[in-house]
């Protein structure tokens, strides 16, 4: 018997895909572009597994998600290869968001490193662990710009800025995909597009985004991810300007394919195709499948009863062309072929264990966390603490000792026992010479509506309702009072951030602020540690506490990173990837807004609250001290289309080696559109040794100076005067001016 052409590795993936495509029935084609959830409800696990296995066997499933165990991956793969008609391997996808077994800091924390190298390395480890257990594809990175911190998924992205967001997106794609060899996975930037703009920060709500915001703010991270070679894109759930993103031909074809140049395959978000009916856009499931596919969506992710299962009917009724189905199937087959799945479909179950438990992965998780911490405030050099001068440290707050919360949301395959909490980290670091006394203090109230992820995760710790707040508060205050210093850890539980975790306030939940007030009143110096994935109301702390450290959800070895930073083994250098408002009423507040009719009054717009943010975008302090000088341009006058170079000297005038994130901002004084007061156009995280100076250079040309204008409905670069600032935050005051002539 001759071997079919699609099995011949000497042919190109495209030739092999064409051959295979010609052998498939219409039903089998629909099957290749259908992806099933494998067991999401532990209560009905056996039944769901049976349904999925049957779909694989009969050619009705080409991909499965949520498999995270090597033996299950191999078992399903064996069914596909040995029991289905053509033996086409499955593509196995999973949400590998910030690690698989080794958990790295949450994505917003990765963004706070402002280091594409660090981010790429972290995600390459996540990819290695994922691939070892048989996962081929991650539903990450989330590259949605988030400007409303009520939206819980801000934690999964890179914050408010398109330039930082683009750099972080590209770094993650490079880390996940690498050269797509045996240690890498396909990356799927999501959610295309505009999901972060959900009205009111309410998850899944519709988004109304102007063209100018779409092109200038929401699309650049996707462009960067596509340019970095992302093999997949996930479509969003919500209506974008009245049309569901997952059924939007303009978005999925004109923008994604024709404009951004994407040539991989598009998957829907979970059940987003069926949801076209739920959202009252499609008439029925057949209509939903036909319209999603025709719009440019290649694969449906679904729980059950896929809309794509109705595609054969839709073809028969003339509602979709079989050629459109062929295009989608071909893209999916090419992805499988490029990954080498026809040659190597299985994973090594024995080896997978040593990969996911590799000590060097844990060490990298710690190093990454160290780079992500943001020192928000540090008066009178409160930090770092000097262990030699301390006899006792109080550690207060449930989050200080919660293994599960330290990991953050969107992790399913961790081993909670491996987690080093902040309390563990401080105890380890301080040893026996300093007495560390822990008090959990007040509880953190549970979510009103349980998170649907909690049932996936038996390790979720919830103690709020099980203890006496008043007694715990008194004990915490007593412990703080009796200690030389109190490290008070406040924040939100991990399931109060993430998907389906919108918040109506930015207040710290429960009585955490009241407890902080009582601790501050004891006179014991306080170091406030904030564990959240979004800004919270820190007005009291900013006024009354001398040191504040934002630690996000720092991951498996997060507690070591926090302890090392508090005690000065590490100098913090993370910077905020978003503007930190004072109060929920400030939301949305971004640094890159336009000038107003009353520029002088910009900082005085509320009568009941300061109009400035609590901390500006790009803010983050250091134990070292940096001075910026000698800002210069290679050419102070250029023509439209030409480039110059911005150069600055950054001196470390302290006695500590440290990193600094050098940031370049511009503003144009007049032009086709009004432009933001400040706009980040470049950044570099550099290490500057104590007493040394580094010269940092940034290119500045059409890429940085052009933008999409609603006046011309296209990209323009103006002849104008451009203000330039370089410094360690968006409040940088060292400036110069560039003239751009026509
Ligand atoms: C829904 C989420 O919106 C998406 O980000 C995720 O990848 C899928 N569920 C699959 O878990």
pLDDT digits (tens, 9 = 90+) for 409-430: 999 999 999 999 999 999 999 9
Higher pLDDT, 43 or 659: 659
pLDDT tier for residue 462 given thresholds of 50, 70 and 90: low
pLDDT of 113 reads 99
pLDDT of 2 reads 86
Give the ligand 1 atom nearest the CA of 191.
5
Q: Is the pLDDT of residue 465 over 70?
A: no
Q: Is the pLDDT of residue 452 over 80?
A: no
pLDDT of 43 reads 81
269 tagged catalytic = yes
Q: Residue 324 and residue 249: Cα distance in Å, rounded?
A: 13
CA of 269 to the centre of ligand 1 (A): 6
pLDDT tier for residue 346 given thresholds of 50, 70 and 90: very high
Q: Is the pLDDT of residue 170 over 80?
A: yes
139 lines ligand 1 (CB under 6 A): yes
Q: Whole-number mean pLDDT of the chain? A: 96
95 lines ligand 1 (CB under 6 A): yes
Which residue among 234, 268, 299, 453 is best mutated to probe the pocket of ligand 1, counting the most ligand atoms within 8 A of its Cβ? 234
Q: Is the pLDDT of residue 1 over 80?
A: no
pLDDT of 463 reads 62
Question: Mean pLDDT lowest for which of 97-111, 226-240, 350-364, 598-612?
Answer: 598-612
Q: Residue 495 and residue 531: Cα distance in Å, rounded?
A: 12
The dihedral sign for the CA sequence 229, 235, 238, 243: positive
Q: Dump pLDDT digits (tens) for 18-27.
A: 999 999 999 9
- Secondary structure in 3-state letters for 74-88: HHHHHHHHHHCCCCC
Q: Residue 198 and residue 217: Cα distance in Å, rounded?
A: 15
Q: Residue 738 and residue 736: Cα distance in Å, rounded?
A: 7
CA of 271 to the centre of ligand 1 (A): 9
Q: Dump pLDDT digits (tens) for 628-668.
A: 999 999 999 999 999 999 999 999 999 999 999 999 999 99
Q: Dump pLDDT digits (tens) for 540-592.
A: 999 999 999 999 999 999 999 999 999 999 999 999 999 999 999 999 999 99
pLDDT tier for residue 450 given thresholds of 50, 70 and 90: confident
Q: Is the pLDDT of residue 455 over 70?
A: no
CA of 141 to the centre of ligand 1 (A): 11
pLDDT of 314 reads 98
8 A C-beta contact, residue 137 and residue 369: no
> Which amino acid residue places its CA nearest to atom 11 of ligand 1?
95
pLDDT of 604 reads 83
153 lines ligand 1 (CB under 6 A): no
Region 182-195 average pLDDT: 98
Question: Which pTM value belongs to this model?
Answer: 0.98
Q: Residue 41 and residue 452: Cα distance in Å, rounded?
A: 10
> Which amino acid residue places its CA nearest to atom 9 of ligand 1?
270
Q: Residue 681 and residue 725: Cα distance in Å, rounded?
A: 10
270 lines ligand 1 (CB under 6 A): yes
Q: Residue 356 and residue 556: Cα distance in Å, rounded?
A: 13
Q: Is the pLDDT of residue 138 over 80?
A: yes
CA of 265 to the centre of ligand 1 (A): 16
Region 525-537 average pLDDT: 98
Q: Residue 175 and residue 187: Cα distance in Å, rounded?
A: 9
Q: Dump pLDDT digits (tens) for 708-731.
A: 999 999 999 999 999 999 999 999
CA of 174 to the centre of ligand 1 (A): 21
Q: Residue 570 and residue 544: Cα distance in Å, rounded?
A: 25
């Amino acid at each position: 018997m001759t071997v079919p052409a699609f099995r011949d590795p000497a042919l190109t993936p495209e030739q092999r895909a064409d051959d295979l495509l010609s052998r498939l029935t219409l039903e089998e084609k629909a099957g290749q572009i259908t992806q099933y959830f494998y067991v999401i409800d532990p209560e009905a696990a056996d039944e769901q597994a049976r349904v999925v296995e049957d779909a694989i066997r009969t050619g009705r499933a080409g991909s499965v998600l949520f498999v995270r165990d090597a033996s299950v991956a191999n078992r399903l793969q064996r069914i596909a290869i040995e029991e289905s008609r053509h033996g086409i391997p499955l593509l196995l996808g999973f949400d590998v968001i910030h690690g698989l077994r080794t958990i790295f800091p949450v994505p917003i924390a990765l963004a706070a490193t402002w280091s594409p190298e660090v981010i790429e390395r972290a995600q390459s480890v996540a990819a290695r662990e994922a691939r070892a257990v048989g996962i081929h594809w991650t539903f990450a990175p989330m590259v949605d710009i988030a400007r409303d911190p009520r939206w819980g998924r801000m934690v999964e992205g890179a914050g408010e800025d398109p330039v930082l967001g683009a750099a972080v997106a590209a770094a993650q794609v490079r880390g996940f995909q690498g050269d797509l060899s045996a240690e890498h996975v396909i990356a799927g930037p999501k959610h295309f597009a505009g999901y972060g703009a959900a009205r009111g920060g309410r998850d899944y709500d519709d988004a109304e985004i102007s063209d100018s915001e779409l092109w200038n703010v929401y699309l650049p991270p996707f462009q960067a991810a596509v340019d970095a070679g992302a093999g997949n894109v996930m479509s969003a759930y919500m209506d974008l300007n009245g049309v569901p993103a997952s059924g939007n031909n303009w978005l999925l074809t004109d923008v994604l394919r024709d404009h951004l140049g994407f040539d991989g395959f598009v998957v829907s978000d979970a059940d987003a195709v069926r949801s076209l009916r739920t959202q009252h856009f499609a008439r029925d499931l057949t209509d939903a499948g036909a319209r999603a596919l025709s719009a440019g969506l290649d694969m449906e992710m679904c729980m059950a009863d896929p809309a794509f299962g109705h595609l054969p009917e839709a073809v028969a009724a003339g509602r979709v062309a079989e050629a459109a189905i062929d295009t989608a199937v071909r893209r999916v087959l090419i992805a499988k072929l490029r990954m080498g799945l026809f040659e190597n479909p299985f994973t090594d179950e024995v080896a997978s264990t040593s990969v996911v438990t590799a000590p060097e992965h844990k060490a990298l998780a710690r190093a990454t966390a160290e780079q992500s911490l943001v020192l928000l405030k540090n008066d009178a050099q409160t930090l770092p603490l000097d262990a030699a001068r301390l006899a006792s440290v109080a550690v207060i707050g449930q989050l200080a000792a919660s293994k599960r919360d330290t990991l953050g949301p969107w992790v399913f395959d961790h081993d909670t026992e491996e987690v080093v909490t902040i309390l563990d980290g401080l105890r380890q670091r301080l040893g026996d010479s300093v007495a560390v006394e822990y008090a959990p203090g007040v509880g953190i109230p549970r979510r009103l509506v349980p998170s649907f992820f909690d049932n996936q995760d038996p390790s979720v710790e919830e103690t709020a309702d099980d203890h006496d707040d008043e007694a715990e508060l008194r004990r915490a205050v007593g412990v703080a009072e009796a200690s030389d210093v109190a490290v008070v850890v406040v924040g939100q539980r991990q399931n109060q951030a993430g998907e389906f975790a919108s918040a109506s306030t930015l207040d710290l939940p429960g009585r955490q602020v009241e407890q902080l007030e009582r601790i501050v009143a004891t006179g014991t110096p306080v170091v406030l540690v904030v564990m959240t994935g979004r800004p919270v109301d820190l007005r009291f702390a900013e006024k009354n506490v001398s040191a504040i450290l934002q630690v996000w959800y720092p991951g498996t070895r997060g507690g070591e990173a926090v302890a090392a930073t508090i005690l000065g083994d590490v100098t913090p250098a993370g910077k905020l990837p978003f503007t930190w408002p004072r109060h929920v009423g400030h939301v949305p507040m971004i640094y890159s807004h336009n000038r107003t009719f009353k520029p002088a009054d910009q900082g005085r717009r509320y009568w009941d609250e300061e109009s400035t943010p609590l901390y500006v975008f790009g803010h983050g302090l250091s134990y070292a001290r940096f001075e910026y000088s000698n800002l210069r341009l290679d050419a102070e006058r250029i023509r439209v289309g030409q480039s110059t170079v911005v150069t600055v000297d950054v001196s470390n005038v302290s006695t500590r080696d440290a990193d600094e994130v050098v940031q370049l901002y511009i503003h144009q004084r007049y032009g086709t559109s009004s432009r933001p007061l400040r706009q980040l156009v470049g950044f570099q995280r550099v290490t500057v040794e104590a007493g040394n100076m580094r010269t940092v250079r940034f290119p500045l040309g059409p890429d940085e100076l052009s933008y999409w204008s609603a006046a011309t409905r296209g990209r323009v670069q103006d002849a104008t005067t451009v203000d330039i600032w370089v410094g360690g935050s968006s409040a940088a005051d060292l400036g110069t001016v560039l003239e751009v002539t026509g």
